[in-house]
């Protein structure tokens, strides 16, 4: 049996009367439009929250205020019994109380949030408590085929129905739980309780940024589920439906009473009768937007959208994508946005403005305006104004803002099928049939419409207009400036433009468009097309499919559009330069010779720019780019994609602004700049400039005089391939950097951070900068300054120079095998000259000096220095401070000169004939083996000559000195500085035996000779 389709009045009658046997039950709200409600003690907080949300959904549309009371509410809620049901009590038809029961197990099983089946259950049961029955005469369970009374009984029309959307075979709506009472429910409440004064009466936003203030706010949450359905009722204000945060294709009709598709569902939004929504914003999908009779603002967002304004003065925006916009009635403003847009005009369209018509991309569809037969007729309607080109038709006026008539030609318009679009000699109008036709025009401006079937259409000479129609067509345009427009079907057409400046437009299937000679405009449709510009300066636009685009020479403009596209240029010379935009998708772009401008757009693109001075923008996502020969410019997108760029021959400028890119300049004098994300920069051959960002960069170079700035971050630089004639400059900046130069004479400043600097070959200048640095100078005559911080430095081979900064930290320096000069100006440094004739100077803070092998010059500072030497004829000056000196490894042929200076010094000389001056302070001196000369200073010195024939020299009266190993007959004591001691006889009166020692005491001068007997001393032991 075929079920009837109920009107709203019939459905309302069933809901409030038919279900109750012809009686109408309800609350008496004539005095106060409010009802009280109460919760049983067993209801949890989540249950109570969901109940109150369900009450709100009824309260607004019915104009009823629900007031909570502790106990005894007119509507009582409980969860103690099984299942879900409502019982009502009253006097006659007037309800006096109702009890709603939804069990705890029901709540726990069907979800506890808005948008769940538990929420829908509460809304349904509250409907009973307000006087609504079911939409059919069923209760507890039902089958649509057995129990439905009318064809449109489902959740799409009423929350009081038992049948979900997909249980009803008469609706194509998808399954969805309900957020609100639906249209029949709203009408039933108004029949029972009258129409409320206002429902969502102000300026309300639904969806993203919702201000509805009830369960509809759920649509604005980021985690809302797609399978929800709802009815919007709004009585006043300037209102907005905003689903711009969604990517699914939407179909939205703002006509009151209309059903729309949102969130990837079908038929899940209903506008209640009389509801007027003024503004609509959709997202990235291929959306269809339809306005109502008032002035709408419709914004399609991204995607290939179809936007129709309806009546009223509308503002339409297609935004990004290949959009179709029709203002319809009223004075409308149309903005296509990025992409290939079509602006459609039909009867009664009003006075419309197209704000951004792009002549080489967009076109105007006036095929519905049958009174405009051809370009000649259209040209007669055009007038240049201060605002643009005005086209005054019998139906309305079109203003193409910012243009003049001379910028337009027939290829920018779609005329009525069967009408001419050419401007040459009088031509033919040929129309095909539903079969496969062969139509050939003459030498005039022909108009050929293939219509249905697999047709073969030829324009011959003249400026022809050809419409492929449906089917797989073969189009040969030959000579003239021709226009081809594909049908909207899926047929695969093959179009040859021939000579002339042709305009070939695909709108449906996977077409093949060949521009051949001339300056052509080729546009791919939504399917995957092959687009070949041929020779000439062509403009080619891809669609949303995976297009294959190519040209054979000329200065071309290419927009590949969405999809995984490819573009290949051939035949260009150095005078030509193409402009290519990849758009969305993973594109492959292969340019030829010439100075090209290439933009990969979004997606993981592969770009080869070929020869010429090219400008390449990687765009979003991770791209692979080969710039080829020429002085090229590369700029990364600002996203996090990791690009790989090879500069090739030429002086290239490569700049990363977003992700962790890998930039290789190749040969030439290149400039490479890293982003803040951290990059890999390779200069290659040539004099390169590498600039790091704030991230962790890895840099290297393969030869040339390079300038390297590492910047912030823990960066690394490695110079390879340099020769001795190269000289790099490396600036480390902040961060713990690792820098290794090549064979040239390089200059390195580690900057702040704990850096590792390696000079390798070449005469390098290395500055550690701030931080605790590790420096290896390598071979070559290097100059090293550790900078501030406690540094570890290995000067390596060569005659190196080390100069410490004035910082107080302590450096450790190893000299290597050259003749090093090491100077400490600040901290308590440790300097080791290694092999070679080195010069080491300690700072005033004190330090450790190790001369190593070779004839070294060691100079202490004002602090307490520890000085050692291995071998060689060394010159040691300890300076101020309590210093120590130890010689190891000297042979008998070595002769050191050691000056203790101020301070209480300890000096231990080695083998060889050493000259030792104690200086000021109470010094301890051990001369070691060899014929040494020990000169006491002004303090109380302790001297040991060691093996050999030593001379102890005393030059002034001072504190008591001591010789611990004087050997009579072998060593000498030099007292020539003292007047009055001219002979041994003069001295004998000043010699006394004191225990096991002999004391010399003369005029304030006193020296003790340990383990010496007075009787063993002779005149030969003294120099007087």
pLDDT for position 544: 84
Same domain for 454 and 405, yes or no, is no
Residue where a domain terminates, one of 497, 518, 539: 518
Among 47, 125, 338, 809, the one annotated catalytic: 125
| Residue 168: CATH number of its domain | 3.40.390.10
For the stretch 124-180, pLDDT in tens is 999 999 999 999 999 999 999 999 999 999 999 999 999 999 999 999 999 999 999
Q: Does the predicted TM-score (pTM) go above 0.85?
A: no
Which candidate, 364, 309, 319, 320, places its Cα nearest to that of 342?
A: 364
Q: How many domains does the chain have?
A: 5
Q: Is 492 domain-assigned?
A: yes
Residue 852 has pLDDT above 70, yes or no: yes
pLDDT for position 424: 38
Q: Is 646 domain-assigned?
A: no
Q: At what angle do helices 45-62 and 183-193 cross, to 10 degrees?
A: 70
Same domain for 410 and 471, yes or no, is no
Residue where a domain terminates, one of 414, 435, 451: 414
| Residue 230: CATH number of its domain | 2.150.10.10
249/286 Cα distance (integer angstroms): 5
pLDDT for position 224: 54
379/706 Cα distance (integer angstroms): 62
Report CA dihedral (174, 177, 179, 185) to the nearest 10 degrees.
Answer: 80
Residue 936 has pLDDT above 50, yes or no: yes
126/121 Cα distance (integer angstroms): 9
pLDDT for position 329: 95
* Band of residue 5 on the pLDDT scale cut at 50, 70, 90: very high
Same domain for 145 and 221, yes or no, is no
Cβ atoms within 10 A of the Cβ of 234, count? 23
743/721 Cα distance (integer angstroms): 8
Q: Is 865 domain-assigned?
A: no
* Band of residue 959 on the pLDDT scale cut at 50, 70, 90: low
Mean pLDDT (whole number) for 530-538:
88
Same domain for 288 and 317, yes or no, is yes
CA–CA–CA angle 406, 351, 260 (5° rounding): 115
Helices (H), 819-926: none
* Band of residue 578 on the pLDDT scale cut at 50, 70, 90: confident
Same domain for 292 and 231, yes or no, is yes
Dihedral of alpha carbons 120, 124, 125, 127, sign: positive
pLDDT for position 953: 94
* Band of residue 542 on the pLDDT scale cut at 50, 70, 90: confident
Q: Is 109 domain-assigned?
A: yes
Listed in sequence order, the residues at least 6 apart from 240 whose beta carbon sits closer than 8 Å to its beta carbon are: 203, 204, 205, 206, 207, 277, 278, 279, 280, 281
pLDDT for position 487: 67
Q: Is 802 domain-assigned?
A: no
Same domain for 789 and 896, yes or no, is no
Same domain for 477 and 394, yes or no, is no
Residue 119 has pLDDT above 50, yes or no: yes
pLDDT for position 807: 66
pLDDT for position 420: 34
Same domain for 408 and 446, yes or no, is no
DSSP state letter for 261? B
For the stretch 968-1018, pLDDT in tens is 999 999 999 999 899 999 999 999 999 999 999 998 889 999 999 999 999
The answer to whether residue 125 is catalytic is yes
For the stretch 288-322, pLDDT in tens is 999 999 999 999 999 899 999 999 999 999 999 88
Q: Which two tokens stand for residue 979?
A: 């007047």
944: containing domain: 871-1024
Q: With contact defined as beta carbons under 8 Å apart, do 731 and 747 qualify?
A: no
Q: With contact defined as beta carbons under 8 Å apart, do 722 and 739 qualify?
A: no
Q: Is 584 domain-assigned?
A: no
For the stretch 606-615, pLDDT in tens is 999 889 898 8
858/856 Cα distance (integer angstroms): 6
Q: Is 767 domain-assigned?
A: yes
Cα–Cα separations (whole angstroms), residue 95 to 56, 89, 99, 393, 776 = 20, 6, 11, 64, 95
Mean pLDDT of all residues in the chain? 89
1001/1019 Cα distance (integer angstroms): 17
pLDDT for position 503: 81
Residue where a domain terminates, one of 794, 817, 842: 794
Residue 869 has pLDDT above 60, yes or no: yes
788/769 Cα distance (integer angstroms): 6
Same domain for 947 and 968, yes or no, is yes
Same domain for 397 and 489, yes or no, is no
Mean pLDDT (whole number) for 906-927:
91
* Band of residue 423 on the pLDDT scale cut at 50, 70, 90: very low
Residue 220 has pLDDT above 80, yes or no: no
Cβ atoms within 10 A of the Cβ of 819, count? 20
Percent of the chain having pLDDT more than 90? 48
Per DSSP, the three-state class of 303 is coil
Which contiguous run of DSSP H or E holds residue 61? helix 45-62
Q: Is 804 domain-assigned?
A: no
pLDDT for position 486: 76
DSSP state letter for 139? B
Q: Which two tokens stand for residue 996?
A: 């096991």
Per DSSP, the three-state class of 269 is strand
For the stretch 622-657, pLDDT in tens is 889 999 999 989 888 777 788 899 988 999 998 988
615/696 Cα distance (integer angstroms): 27
* Band of residue 786 on the pLDDT scale cut at 50, 70, 90: confident
pLDDT for position 427: 62
960/1006 Cα distance (integer angstroms): 5
For the stretch 246-274, pLDDT in tens is 888 999 999 999 999 998 899 999 999 99
Same domain for 210 and 189, yes or no, is no
Same domain for 923 and 987, yes or no, is yes
């Amino acid at each position: 049996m075929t079920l009837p389709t109920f009107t709203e009045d019939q459905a309302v009658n069933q809901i409030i009367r038919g279900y109750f046997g012809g009686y109408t039950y309800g609350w008496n709200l004539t005095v106060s439009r409010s009802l009280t409600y109460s919760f049983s003690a067993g209801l949890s907080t989540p249950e109570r929250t969901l109940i109150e949300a369900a009450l709100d959904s009824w309260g607004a549309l019915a104009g009823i205020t629900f007031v909570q009371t502790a106990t005894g509410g007119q509507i009582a809620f409980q969860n103690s019994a099984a299942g879900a049901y409502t019982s009502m009590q009253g006097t006659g038809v007037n309800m006096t109380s109702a009890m709603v029961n939804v069990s705890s197990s029901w709540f726990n099983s069907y979800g506890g949030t808005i948008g769940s089946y538990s929420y829908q259950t509460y809304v349904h049961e509250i409907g009973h408590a307000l006087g609504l029955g079911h939409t059919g005469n069923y209760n507890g369970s039902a089958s649509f085929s057995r129990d439905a009374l009318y064809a449109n009984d489902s959740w799409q029309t009423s929350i009081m129905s038992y049948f979900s959307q997909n249980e009803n075979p008469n609706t194509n709506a998808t399954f969805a739980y309900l957020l609100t009472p639906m249209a029949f429910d709203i009408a039933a409440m108004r029949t029972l309780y009258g129409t409320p004064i206002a429902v969502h009466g102000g300026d309300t936003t639904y969806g993203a940024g919702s201000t509805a203030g009830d369960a509809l706010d759920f649509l604005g949450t980021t985690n809302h589920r797609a399978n929800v359905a709802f009815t919007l009722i709004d009585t006043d204000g300037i209102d907005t439906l905003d689903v711009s945060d969604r990517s699914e294709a939407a179909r939205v009709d703002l006509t009151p009473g209309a059903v729309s598709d949102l969130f990837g569902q079908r038929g899940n939004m209903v506008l209640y009768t009389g509801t007027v929504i003024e503004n609509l914003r959709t997202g990235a999908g291929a959306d269809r937007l339809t306005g109502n009779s008032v002035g709408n603002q419709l914004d399609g967002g991204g995607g290939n959208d179809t936007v129709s304004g309806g009546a009223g003065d509308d503002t339409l925006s297609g935004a990004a994508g290949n959009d179709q916009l029709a203002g319809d009635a009223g004075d409308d403003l149309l903005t296509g946005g990025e992409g290939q847009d079509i602006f459609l005009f039909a009867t009664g369209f009003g006075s419309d403005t197209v704000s951004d018509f792009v002549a080489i991309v967009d076109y105007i569809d006036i095929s519905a305006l049958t009174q405009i037969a051809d370009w000649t007729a259209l040209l007669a309607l055009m007038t240049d104004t201060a605002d643009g080109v005005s086209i005054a038709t019998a139906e309305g006026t079109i203003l193409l803002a910012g243009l003049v008539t001379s910028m337009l030609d027939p290829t920018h318009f779609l005329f009525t099928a069967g009408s001419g679009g050419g401007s040459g000699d009088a031509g033919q109008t040929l129309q095909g049939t539903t079969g496969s036709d062969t139509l050939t025009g003459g030498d005039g401006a022909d108009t050929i419409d293939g219509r249905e079937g697999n047709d073969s259409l030829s324009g011959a000479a003249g400026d022809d207009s050809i419409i492929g129609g449906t089917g797989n067509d073969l189009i040969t345009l030959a000579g003239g400036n021709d226009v081809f427009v594909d049908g909207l079907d899926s047929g695969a057409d093959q179009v040859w433009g021939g000579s002339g400046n042709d305009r070939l437009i695909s709108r449906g299937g996977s077409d093949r468009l060949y521009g051949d000679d001339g300056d052509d405009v080729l546009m791919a449709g939504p399917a995957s097309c092959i687009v070949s510009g041929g020779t000439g300066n062509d403009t080619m636009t891809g669609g949303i499919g995976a297009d294959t685009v190519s040209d054979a020479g000329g200065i071309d403009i290419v927009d590949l559009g969405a999809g995984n596209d490819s573009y290949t240029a051939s035949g260009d010379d150095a005078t030509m330069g193409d402009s290519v935009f990849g758009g969305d998708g993973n594109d492959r772009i292969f340019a030829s010779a010439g100075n090209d401008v290439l933009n990969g757009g979004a997606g993981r693109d592969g770009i080869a720019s070929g020869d010429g001075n090219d400008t390449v923008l990687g765009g979003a996502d991770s791209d692979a780019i080969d710039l080829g020969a020429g002085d090229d410019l590369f700029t990364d997108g600002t996203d996090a994609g990791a690009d790989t760029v090879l500069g090739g021959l030429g002086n290239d400028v490569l700049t990363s602004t977003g992700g962790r890119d890998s930039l290789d300049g190749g040969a030439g004098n290149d400039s490479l700049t890293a982003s803040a994300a951290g990059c890999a920069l390779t200069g290659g051959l040539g004099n390169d400039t590498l600039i790091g960002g704030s991230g962790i960069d890895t840099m290297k170079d393969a030869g040339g005089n390079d300038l390297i700035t590492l910047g912030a971050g823990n960066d690394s630089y490695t110079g390879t391939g340099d020769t001795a004639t190269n000289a790099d400059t490396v600036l480390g900046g902040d961060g713990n950097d690792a820098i290794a130069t090549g064979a040239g004479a390089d200059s390195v400043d580690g900057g702040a951070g704990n850096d590792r600097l390696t000079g390798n070959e070449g005469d390098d200048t290395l500055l550690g900068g701030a931080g605790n640095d590790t420096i290896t100078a390598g071979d070559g005559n290097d100059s090293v300054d550790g900078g501030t911080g406690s540094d570890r430095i290995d000067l390596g081979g060569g005659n190196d120079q080390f100069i410490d900064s004035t910082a107080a930290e302590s450096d450790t320096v190893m000299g290597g095998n050259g003749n090093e000069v090491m100077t400490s100006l600040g901290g308590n440094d440790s300097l080791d000259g290694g092999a070679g004739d080195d010069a080491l100077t300690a700072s005033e803070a004190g330090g450790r000096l190790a001369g190593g092998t070779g004839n070294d010059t060691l100079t202490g500072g004002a602090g307490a220095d520890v000085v050692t030497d291995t071998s060689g004829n060394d010159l040691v000056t300890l300076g101020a401070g309590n210093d120590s000196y130890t010689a190891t490894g000297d042979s008998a042929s070595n002769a050191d000169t050691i000056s203790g200076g101020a301070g209480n010094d300890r000096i231990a000389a080695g083998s060889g004939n050493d000259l030792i001056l104690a200086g000021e302070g109470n010094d301890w001196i051990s001369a070691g083996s060899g014929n040494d000369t020990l000169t006491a200073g002004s303090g109380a010195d302790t001297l040991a000559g060691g093996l050999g024939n030593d001379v102890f020299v005393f030059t002034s009266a001072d504190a008591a000195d001591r010789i611990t190993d004087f050997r009579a007959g072998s060593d000498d004591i030099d007292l020539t500085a003292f007047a009055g001691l001219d002979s041994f006889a003069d001295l004998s009166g000043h010699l006394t035996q004191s225990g096991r020692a002999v004391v010399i005491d003369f005029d304030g001068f006193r020296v003790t000779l340990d383990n010496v007997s007075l009787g063993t001393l002779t005149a030969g032991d003294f120099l007087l």
